[in-house]
Chain A
Amino acid sequence: MTSGSRVLAVVRYDAIDQLRRPLAVLLPIALPIYVVTRSVAQTLATPRPVELAGGQHIIATMRELHGAGMAAIAVGFVSALLGSFVARSAQSADRRLAVVGFGSRELIASRLLVLLASATLVTLVAASVVAASVNVEHWAALTGSLWLTGMLFAAIGALLGTTLGVLPATYAALFAVLVDLGVAQNPMFNARPPDWAQLLPGYGSARGLYAAAFAPTFNAAGVLLLAAGWTAVALAAVVVAMRRNLPTTPSHPSTKATAHAQ
């Protein structure tokens, strides 16, 4: 078995494991569609001045801001929830997979690939719903901002899942997403985020999202770089946490991995 096929095997095991949970199947598709369309339908088109990243001042409507903001919240929450599921699966299975011959790099890479796939899925659903509901100025940048939101909160969810367990991690992720993306970064409540909000992890991706959605000229690459930095740090922390979970004794590559390991 080559290293690549081992990684794909663990990705397949993990995908099967996650697909057993109704929530893991239902939420990435249903939640963004429901919250974005309901938000847009229920909110008035009241004009709202907003200062976007890059210093541009625009007038958006509350309806548009609500639709875009709920997409970010849905992506953040679903990614964090799936991240906590993946982390718990890894905690229970990876030590056994290591014993039967899987390398730590292969195991960690496979878990990160599952996080990547789940964040990408919910991002594509959310971006499509936003594009259908709101006049988006820069589709690619909006999708990129949402994807960074998904990857960042998937990593945060994985860290929470590792340290707290799935249930407390779910509530912690819900509150973290609502405080950061729902209140602090939300232009429905402040024309620009307050100073303290810049310290939160969602600042860069949220500023990038609103600039991508509403700025006539997109010049918010700086905040997207900041978001990428937060995401890289969070993913690095996930790698460290997963590596600590694995046994320190060398594995035996000659041992045949079995599909029953998980």
Chain B
Amino acid sequence: MLSVLRTAGPLFARESARDRLSIALLAVIPVWFVVIFSSVLGDFSAALGGTLARQSAGALSAGWAAALLSGTLAFFQVTAGRTADRRLALAGRCAAQVAAARLAVCLLAALVASAAALATLALVSGVEHPWHAAAAIYGAAITYVGIGVLIGAVVHGPLEGSLLVVLVFSIDAFSTPQMTSSTGLSWTPTRNASDVLMSAAAGGASTTSAWAQLAGTAVVSVALSAATFAAIARGRA
């Protein structure tokens, strides 16, 4: 298993790094969300009847930046790797090993996106509990890795699939309770991460239950992503 991660993992990572869109998204999205979006998010939530404070808006936008970016990059991992992964499996690589390498690249991309978002947040508005915020941002990013991979397994067109990731993200983001007065959806993918993030931004501590739910969502996302990548390598998705 480790030998595959050492050989296929760096190859997949280099393949991703060659994509100009990925690099542009990594540069633009964290800055866009944290600098521009967070400055108007408080006013926007007030218009919708929400109660989002400015400091929470900055933290929330950092989590959203990492989530959207990770979901989009994970989607492109699936679309870019579908044919290659099947050939690798046909050539003798175990499908589980190929899936592990793909998943490792997605989790690494999510880590880079989370670090970029956290760094932008720290520079722009600061955060009271940076380690809590880092964990919550990475949790949101891992959750969207799962969403991006699942969408990639179903939708093959790069344009259609990546816009579907954006659509899911938009519904998720604007259903956050602090963003709106309407009851909306009772559960959304980044709900737990958002709660922990807003507590971290305000200097408060999250409950054990909130951390457990965040960890549970991330574990489910990783498991679903691994199963989906393995199914793709076997030619079943």
Write the residues of chain A forming the contact surface with B, with a CB cutoff of 8 angstroms. Answer: 22-23, 42-44, 46, 62, 66, 166-168, 170-171, 174-175, 179, 183, 186, 188-189
Contact = CB atoms under 8 A, between A and B. Distances in A.
- A-B pairs with the 6 shortest C-beta distances? A62-B47, A189-B40, A168-B21, A44-B49, A189-B43, A43-B47
A60 to B, nearest CB: 12
A42 B160 contact: no
B70 interface: no
Given A23-B163, A167-B162, A170-B159, A43 B21 contact: no
B47 A171 contact: no
A44 B43 CA distance: 12
A29 to B, nearest CB: 16
B40 A167 contact: no
Nearest to B43: A189
Given A42-B48, A42-B180, A46-B47, A166 B159 contact: yes
Contacts of A168: 20-21, 24
- Quick one: which of A43, A66, A174 has the most chain B CB within 10 A? A43
B40 A183 contact: yes
Contacts, number: 49
Nearest to B182: A42
26 contacts: A22-B160, A23-B159, A42-B180, A42-B182, A43-B47, A44-B48, A46-B46, A62-B47, A66-B47, A166-B159, A167-B21, A167-B158, A167-B162, A168-B20, A168-B21, A170-B159, A171-B25, A171-B162, A174-B166, A179-B32, A183-B36, A183-B37, A186-B40, A188-B40, A189-B43, A189-B44
B160 A23 contact: yes
B51 interface: no
B188 interface: no
Given A44-B47, A179-B32, 10 more contacts: A42-B174, A43-B47, A44-B48, A44-B181, A170-B159, A171-B21, A175-B28, A175-B32, A179-B36, A183-B36
Nearest to A174: B166
Interface residues of B, number: 25
Contacts of B43: 188-189
B181 A167 contact: no
B159 A167 contact: yes
A168 B22 CA distance: 9
Nearest to A23: B160
Interface of B: 20-21, 24-25, 28, 32, 36-37, 40, 43-44, 46-49, 158-160, 162-163, 166, 174, 180-182
Given A22-B160, A183-B40, A188 B21 contact: no
Contacts of A188: 40, 43-44, 47
A189 B41 CA distance: 9
Contacts of A44: 47-49, 181
A179 B40 CA distance: 11
Nearest to A186: B40
A262 B46 CA distance: 51
B183 to A, nearest CB: 12
A70 to B, nearest CB: 12
B149 to A, nearest CB: 18
Contacts of B159: 23, 166-167, 170
A42 B32 CA distance: 24
Contacts of B36: 179, 183
Contacts of B180: 42
Nearest to B20: A168
Contacts of B48: 42-44
Contacts of B166: 174
Nearest to B42: A189
A62 B180 CA distance: 14
Contacts of A46: 46-47
Contacts of B44: 188-189
B153 to A, nearest CB: 18
A192 to B, nearest CB: 15
Nearest to B181: A44
B161 to A, nearest CB: 10
B124 to A, nearest CB: 16
A22 B163 CA distance: 13
Contacts of B46: 46
A174 B163 CA distance: 10
Contacts of A43: 47-48
Contacts of A167: 21, 158-159, 162
B21 to A, nearest CB: 5
